[in-house]
Chains A and B, each alone.
Chain A
Amino acid sequence: QLQLQESGPGLVKPSETLSLTCNVSGGSISGSQYYWVWIRQTPGKGLEWIGGIYYSGNTYFNPSLKTRITMSIDTSKNQFSLRLDSVTAADTAVYYCARESWILVPPMSSYMDVWGKGATVTVSS
C-alpha cells in the first residue's frame, strides 16, 4: 500500500526558506502517469495546489507561487522535496504531499488519490 510522509521544520522565520520532504513507501516514485504534488491548507481557508513534479524532473507550479518555488525529486531515495523562498506569515499552513494521477490529453483528468498526513508549518520570528 502506497504511503506518503512529510517531514521538515515546523517553524520557519519570516524571509527564510521553507523546506519539506515527502518520503514515498510501498511503491516506486518512478511510475509513469503520476505527478508528485504539494498542496497546502492555510488556517481557516481551503486547499491550495502548490505544484507538482514528474519523475523525470518536469514541473508545474501554481502561477501565484512559482517565483518562490523549487521542487526536486530523488528517485534513488524515493522522495521528493519542496522549497518555498521568502516566506511570510501568509505561508503558515498544513502542507500535504500527494500523488496526482494525470492524463494530459483533453479533457484533462487529474486527481490526488494518495495523500500524506500533512505537516504543520508556522512562519514566525
Chain B
Amino acid sequence: QSVLTQPPSVSAAPGQKITIPCSGSTSDIGNNYVSWYQHLPGTAPKLLIYDNDKRPSGIPDRFSGSKSGTSATLGITGLQTGDEAVYYCGTWHSSLRAEVFGGGTKLTVL
C-alpha cells in the first residue's frame, strides 16, 4: 500500500492528451513539493517534473505538472508510443521523514 494514491492505469490514442492524478495528505503533498518520474521497463527511472511544475533540461514541454492542495497532476500532450511507461509521483513525507511514492500508473498509448 503506497502512501500516495495513483490510478493503476490510463490509456489514450496517439496525439491525445492525458492526465495522471496523485493524491496525498497534508503530511506530504500538502506541504511539500512533488516530483514525477517516467519508468520504462529495464531502465532507470527518469525525472520528468520537480518542484510541482518544473521540467529538467531535455524534458519536452509536452510534459507538465501541477499541484493543488493535497493532490498533484501530471499532464502529457501529443501522446507518442514512446511515452508508454509507468509514471510515479513522489514527495517528502514530513512525519515519516522519508521520501514516498505513489504506486505508479501504467500508461498505454493505443
Is B110's CB within 8 Å of the partner chain A?
no
Binds A, one of B9-17, B44-52, B73-81: B44-52
Q: How far is the CA of A106 from the CA of B90 in the complex (A)?
A: 16
Contact B47 A111 (CB under 8 A): yes
Q: How many residues of B contact A (CB 8 A)?
A: 30
Q: Is the interface of B mostly helix, strand, loop or mixed?
A: strand
Q: How many residues of A contact B (CB 8 A)?
A: 27
Contact B101 A109 (CB under 8 A): no
Is A116's CB within 8 Å of the partner chain B?
yes
| A41 CB → nearest B CB, Å | 8
Q: Which of B37, B39, B90, B97 contacts A60 (CB 8 A)?
A: B97
Which B positions have Cβ atoms within 8 angstroms of A?
A: 2, 31-33, 35, 37, 39, 43-47, 50-51, 56, 86, 88, 90-92, 94, 96-104
Which A positions have Cβ atoms within 8 angstroms of B?
A: 37, 45-49, 51-52, 60-63, 96, 100-101, 106-113, 115-118
